[in-house]
């Protein structure tokens, strides 16, 4: 019998879970006040969610909207998500002999509106990899993050072939974050303290560690036509000394921050048609092992 992890050690059930399911359609429902994750898609295939609304209290922890765990051929479209944690999270499991070793792949997300919560995430549990993800037409208002990839040395894997197009964000604290130091690294508050405060990893250089099967390997991520205003920090692109982010491409991206700019650490890629403005400090701060080519706008 396959072991299902506890809900962060808390005795709270998922509202809806599809486990090892095939050919699933969930359409035209409004789900509210989930005690834990709202919809969990675990080890499933050929899943469609369409015309679904999810509403949870903004101060309710772990009430993710949709969690895609080691599933494939998943399509999410025309969703409205307002919740207390990740609106959508794509995961690929933690290491361990009791957990199926399955990647999350071939995932399409289109026309989704995010209210409160932590936005759209890949991670943090990525031990078995994520690939072939397409996100088109996401709108964020007042979330803590916009597009976020989060991984760590104790739970990383191979993440690649991710394409995000046509994302619009208003008053999103951190519009773009790709961070290989989650969780448990030093944090730096990027905004005034208070409810809903967002913290992002500090840009301080860290000692290089040996590469292991769990070292995050994040590569081939393209962000096109992302427009954000009212940010508290423009963004964070931070790999590891032993495993930089590779082939990270920002094309036609405009982020206006009323706080800090974008921090780059241990990242290789290119910017084309990118405009970052910040009220404090440099719009873009480059650190060690950063090789980002600025290309002409096509």
- Dist CA 70 CA 124 (whole Å): 13
Q: pLDDT digit string (tens) for 218-251?
A: 999 999 999 999 999 999 999 999 999 999 999 9
Q: pLDDT per residue over 178-206, tens digit each?
A: 999 887 444 444 444 443 344 555 544 46
CATH class, range 16-185+214-295: mainly beta
* 3-state secondary structure (DSSP) of residue 34: coil
For 214, which DSSP code? T
The pLDDT value given to residue 196? 38
pLDDT tens for residues 80-132?
999 999 999 999 988 877 778 899 999 999 999 999 999 999 999 999 999 99
Q: Is the dihedral of CA 118, 11, 92, 26 positive or negative?
A: negative
Give pLDDT tens digits for 56-70: 999 998 999 999 999
Average pLDDT over residues 25-40: 97
Please state the rounded mean pLDDT for residues 51-55.
99
pLDDT tens for each residue of 250-281: 999 999 999 999 999 999 999 999 999 999 99
Phi, psi of 101 (to 5 degrees): -95, 80
Q: Tell me the whole-structure pTM to 2 decimals.
A: 0.91
């Amino acid at each position: 019998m396959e072991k299902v992890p506890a809900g962060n050690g808390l005795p709270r059930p998922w509202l809806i879970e599809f486990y090892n399911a095939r050919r699933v359609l969930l359409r035209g429902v409004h789900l509210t006040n989930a005690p834990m994750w709202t919809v969990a898609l675990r080890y499933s295939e050929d899943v469609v969610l369409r015309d679904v609304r999810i509403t949870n209290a903004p101060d309710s922890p772990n009430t993710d909207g949709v969690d895609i765990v080691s599933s494939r051929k998943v399509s999410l479209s025309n969703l409205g998500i307002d919740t207390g944690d990740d609106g959508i999270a794509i995961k690929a499991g933690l290491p361990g002999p009791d957990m199926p070793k399955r990647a999350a792949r071939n995932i399409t997300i289109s026309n989704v509106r995010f209210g409160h919560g932590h936005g759209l995430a890949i991670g943090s549990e990525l031990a078995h990899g994520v690939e072939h993800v397409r996100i088109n037409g996401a709108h964020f208002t007042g979330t803590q993050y916009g597009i976020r990839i989060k991984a760590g040395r104790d739970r990383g894997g191979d993440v690649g072939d991710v394409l995000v197009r046509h994302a619009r964000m208003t008053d999103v604290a951190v519009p773009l974050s790709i961070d290989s130091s989650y969780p448990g690294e030093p944090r730096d508050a990027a905004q005034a303290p208070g409810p809903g405060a967002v913290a992002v990893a500090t840009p301080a250089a860290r000692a290089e560690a040996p590469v292991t099967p769990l070292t995050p390997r994040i590569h081939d991520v393209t962000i096109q036509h992302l427009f954000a205003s009212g940010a508290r920090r423009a963004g964070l692109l931070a790999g590891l000394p032993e495993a930089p982010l590779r082939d990270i491409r920002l094309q036609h991206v405009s982020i206006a921050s009323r706080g800090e700019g974008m921090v780059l650490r241990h990242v290789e890629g290119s910017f084309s048609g990118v405009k970052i403005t910040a009220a404090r400090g440099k719009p873009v701060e480059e650190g060690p092992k950063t090789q980002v080519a600025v290309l002409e706008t096509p």
